[in-house]
Chain A
């Protein structure tokens, strides 16, 4: 089996663009959550979102109609990762690929098309609507920009999408079918129709009228639900010898990927299914020399729904046993919101940054502990980590999929 390393990372969220700004904001609890500003948002009952308000895409004018917002975000993150990896022309394009993810794909393009047809009585829609809206548009645009001619895949596994994309890319490199991969996910779902659909699920956080930016409160007694967010993340993954041969800086090594499906319920989380994914990831990590006690930080799925956080607390206890109370855990969704198809990658990047900077971001807005969420959820203040060896990131999805990634220090 080949070893798989991370050589570049890129991120864009409401809580920061670029890994440096993003991580600093996570440590400082700078929230990107605010009332959303999108067409017809005045008709939303719950207007909170993690909306990126300072995004000024610099793509050529003629390319813009081909790029739904989710592709624009994806390319922004991918270019940051690619630049950091400093990949020169010295790679085989045929063993280089894209493993990307999204939950809703080009939904802004679709909403505009529906609006034009149904509300404006238009007889036609823009000819690029198909190539902009297709869920694999982001992946295809990344492949196009960097000349990656191998696999170009898109995973749609709801909130676990991009954790799965990273995990499957890791497997492809591990097995030798790919040498170099851009992996990650993008989500740009802040449209009236999708936000209204989520509103009906009764899982969205109720707005704190005084401090709306603190409305998402994972693991807190006063949590009321999740906040939808947009954003993207990307990593450059390489076969270790490939990275070493070109003198790349190695940021981390992926050593474990666990995947399971609950097959119990479409939306209700299941501790047993989550535990199976964590155990599978830990078991694989063990074969790479990482023990359970080496996990120095766990970035929880932690969406701040009443049931979700409780069930994740149970599943972590099932897996970590006595050690569960001694693992620093946080949910950064309190700040960047729930990025659905991009959640897994953004939180994986947060985990690697925590390991490499030896400091874990806190769970922001966790002022009131919940007795049913009684693990070390790093309330409010960041936590120094002493010589962290490995980190874990949990992603659990509607549809029952659970994906867990473990990275170890380079």
Chain B
């Protein structure tokens, strides 16, 4: 089964026409041309994809792995409730 990180990476590749190597976990979103507004839009799509809510999320969002982490956090919150 794909990890959350892998799924996030696949979404990034598809949405922003990026290559596998570009979306490595430590890559910053800014270096991929994904600005703060695009990040917010991407999170909106993540909510759909994982059936989670990120509207209360205020964590650091600089790298690809940061995104995967907040998704994992939201998924575990969902599992608890």
B77 at the interface (CB under 8 A from A): no
Is A126 touching B37 in the complex (CB atoms < 8 A)?
no
Among the listed B37, B47, B53, B55, which residue makes an inter-chain contact with A66, where contact means beta carbons less than 8 Å apart?
Answer: B37
A124 at the interface (CB under 8 A from B): yes
Q: How far is the CA of A124 from the CA of B37 in the complex (A)?
A: 17
Across the interface, which residues of B come within 8 angstroms of A18, CB to CB?
A: none
The chain B residue sitting closest to A126, CB to CB, is: B44
Chain B interface, >50% SS class? helix
Q: How far is the CA of A297 from the CA of B43 in the complex (A)?
A: 55
Q: How far is the CA of A62 from the CA of B43 in the complex (A)?
A: 14
Per-residue B-contact encoding for A41-81, CB less than 8 Å = 1, 0 else: 00000000000000000000010011000000000000000
Across the interface, which residues of B come within 8 angstroms of A128, CB to CB?
A: 37, 41
Interface residues of B toward A: which range? 10 to 19
Chain A interface, >50% SS class? loop
Total A-B residue contacts, Cβ distance less than 8 Å: 18
Is B41 touching A123 in the complex (CB atoms < 8 A)?
no
Q: How far is the CA of A128 from the CA of B39 in the complex (A)?
A: 11
Across the interface, which residues of A come within 8 angstroms of B40, CB to CB?
A: 127
A62-B38, A66-B37 are contacts. A127–B44 as well, Cβ < 8 Å?
Answer: yes
Among the listed A62, A65, A124, A126, which residue makes an inter-chain contact with B55, where contact means beta carbons less than 8 Å apart?
Answer: A124
A123-B53, A124-B55 are contacts. A65–B41 as well, Cβ < 8 Å?
Answer: yes
Interface residues of A toward B: which range? under 10
Q: Which of B39-74 contact A (CB under 8 A)?
A: 40-41, 43-44, 47, 53, 55
Q: How far is the CA of A126 from the CA of B40 in the complex (A)?
A: 10
Q: How far is the CA of A408 from the CA of B35 in the complex (A)?
A: 46
Q: Which of A113-169 contact B (CB under 8 A)?
A: 123-124, 126-128, 131
Per-residue B-contact encoding for A75-95, CB less than 8 Å = 1, 0 else: 000000000000000000000
Q: How far is the CA of A66 from the CA of B41 in the complex (A)?
A: 10
Q: How far is the CA of A319 from the CA of B16 in the complex (A)?
A: 60
Q: How far is the CA of A126 from the CA of B37 in the complex (A)?
A: 12
Across the interface, which residues of B come within 8 angstroms of A62, CB to CB?
A: 16, 38
Least CB distance, A312 to chain B, in whole angstroms: 45
Least CB distance, B36 to chain A, in whole angstroms: 11
- Chain B residues engaging chain A, CB cutoff 8 angstroms: 16, 37-38, 40-41, 43-44, 47, 53, 55
- A–B Cβ pairs within 8 angstroms, 14 of them: A62-B16, A62-B38, A66-B37, A123-B53, A124-B44, A124-B53, A124-B55, A126-B41, A126-B44, A127-B41, A127-B43, A127-B44, A128-B41, A131-B37
